[in-house]
Amino acid sequence: MIKLAQSFATNSNTTALNAITTRLADKDATLWGPDATAEAAIRLDWVDLPHSSRELLPTLDALSAWSRELGHEHFILCGMGGSSLAPEVIATHFKKSLVILDSTEPSQVADALKCDLAKSCIIVASKSGSTIETTSQKALFEAALTKAGLPIKDHMVIITDPDSPLHKSATSDGLRTINANPKVGGRFSALSAFGLVPAALIGVDVSLLLDDAADAAAQFTQPDSPVVRVAAKLFEREFAFARFFDGDSLYQGLADWIEQLVAESTGKDGKGVLPVVLAKAPSDRSNVISFKEGDPLSITGPLGAQLIFWEWVTALLCFLLKVDPFNQPNVAESKERTGKILLDWSKRPSNSGHLIDNLEVFAEEKRSSLSEYLKALNSGKYLAVMAYLNRNSDGEISQLRDLLESKLGIPTTFGWGPRFLHSTGQFHKGGPLVGTFLQITAEPESTVEIPNAGYGFERLVLAQALGDNEALSSRGLRVIRVNLKEREAGIEQLLKEVAKL
């Protein structure tokens, strides 16, 4: 069950939400208006997942037995957005080992290859079956397994929608394939095959997740239920940039999953709520949503309950915002721009910027110093820091979030590229156009070729940064790209410059 702090009181919007909870439970596709009805009609099966996903349990038991028989000890999940964020939360919560590869940064990709492949299971998860990051990672692991003389079918599991390109190729190659429910959108898929298959393989009892989700969902249609009160709270003006902290709770990483769910679902038609995930415990928690009992805005309850709870909250919040919770009209734009850059690499945007010691700055307007470039970022209502770096070894760069927010005085988010493109990336381009953006790229520390692509991950990750830069700049938004010529020294220099602002 979900328990809320008393600060989540009823307000003027709870009456409207009380009137529709039963309709949501009944999967009424008309809730979000006529323009959203067609999409909603094929995206609402997540409501039933606490019960319907029990049909997967025999399959998951058989899959786990197969994995144990083959002696798998290391599990690597190749997936983006909804295909990886929930499994990461589940693994962290249950203290299980799961390597998440949701990056095209070459040194992070190389890190994932350092495992003992003979004892590894590679889980490839993609709803569409055509995600460029995941298809590239799959090709890399297939080549590595083949080079090591290992049968791919003994070391790879596929999760995808029926009849997707990935499903067709995996079936043809004899790979173990679990089909997800095609009527569940990616970011609402935590309790579907996308969340449960990795969880089962690493040894989590997924029936407990489903039990807790079902118990929680039973209360959602009651008057002034927790989902109603939290959705109504998030609709208040002061929560346009909603602060979250999970660092001292049992659910570390949950806020990152919520960030994707809320930002990508609500951020469109010039509207939206942008979660701001805090890395450090805030001194003032009065307006910070947390998951530790006793905090002013605490939301507590077991993990399975939290997962279905936030999906309901998001759907209800979208009702208040009058946006379609299930589409992501601006996500494809950056993908298309990336594709065009890769197609003709010689015509990519300028690769020569303003060199300042270990940093190279790319911006529409040239300024005299790094501090002047950084000060210009306070011209928006929020700042997004987007680091196309290795989150395994470059974690120090995440300190920029707190530093920049304190120095510039505006809400600041931090996202690892390219994974944020499947999360807050929709909000940046489809929500209120009031942000400024700091991209951080780096000279590659290594090159990792993508089999049969004609280029490597180092080119792909830069093309993704350049493509999103174009998409943001085309809207008149301020974007500054800082390229680290030498990674460690560049991070140190950047942090020092921000600290001096």
pLDDT for residue 349: 84
pLDDT band for position 390 (cuts 50, 70, 90): very high
Please state the rounded mean pLDDT for residues 18-36: 98
Query: What pTM was estimated for this model as a whole?
Result: 0.97
pLDDT for residue 274: 98
Distance CA 357, CA 350 (A): 19
pLDDT for residue 464: 97
pLDDT for residue 221: 98
- Count of all residues that appear for the chain in the document: 501
| Of residues 335, 284, 303, the one with CA closest to residue 466 | 335
CA separation, residue 387 to residues 219, 401, 414 (Å):
40, 11, 8
Among the residue ranges 247-256, 327-336, 473-482, the one predicted with the least confidence is 327-336
Please state the rounded mean pLDDT for residues 25-52: 98
Q: What SS3 state is found at 356? A: strand
**264-281 pLDDT, tens digit each:** 999 999 999 999 999 999
Q: Is residue 466 predicted with pLDDT exceeding 80?
A: yes
**Comparing 215 with 1, which gets the higher pLDDT?**
215
Q: Report residue 31 CA to chain centroid gap.
A: 26
Distance CA 299, CA 96 (A): 24
Distance CA 120, CA 71 (A): 8
Residue 373 in tokens:
């470039």
| Cβ contacts of 167 within 8 Å, gap of 6 or more | 129, 158, 160, 161, 177, 179
**308-361 pLDDT, tens digit each:** 999 999 999 999 999 999 999 988 888 899 999 999 998 888 777 999 999 999
Domains of the chain with CATH codes: 3-19+219-321 (3.40.50.10490), 49-209 (3.40.50.10490), 331-499 (3.40.50.10490)
Residue 342 in tokens:
């890769």
Q: Is residue 436 predicted with pLDDT exceeding 80?
A: yes
CA separation, residue 15 to residues 31, 228, 231, 232 (Å):
15, 9, 12, 10
- Identity (one letter) of the amino acid at 344? D
Helix (H) / strand (E) element for 156: namely strand 156-160
Please state the rounded mean pLDDT for residues 50-78: 98
pLDDT for residue 136: 97
Place of tokens 């290391």: 74
pLDDT for residue 10: 87
Q: Percent of the chain scored above 90 by pLDDT?
A: 94
| Cβ contacts of 284 within 8 Å, gap of 6 or more | none
418: cis peptide before it, omega within 30°? yes
Neighbours of 215 (CB within 10 A): 17
Q: Percent of the chain scored above 70 by pLDDT?
A: 100
| Of residues 488, 447, 441, 448, the one with CA closest to residue 465 | 441
362 burial (CB, 10 Å; 0-12 / 13-18 / 19+) is buried
- Identity (one letter) of the amino acid at 114? K
**149-160 pLDDT, tens digit each:** 999 999 999 999
pLDDT for residue 350: 75
Please state the rounded mean pLDDT for residues 149-174: 97
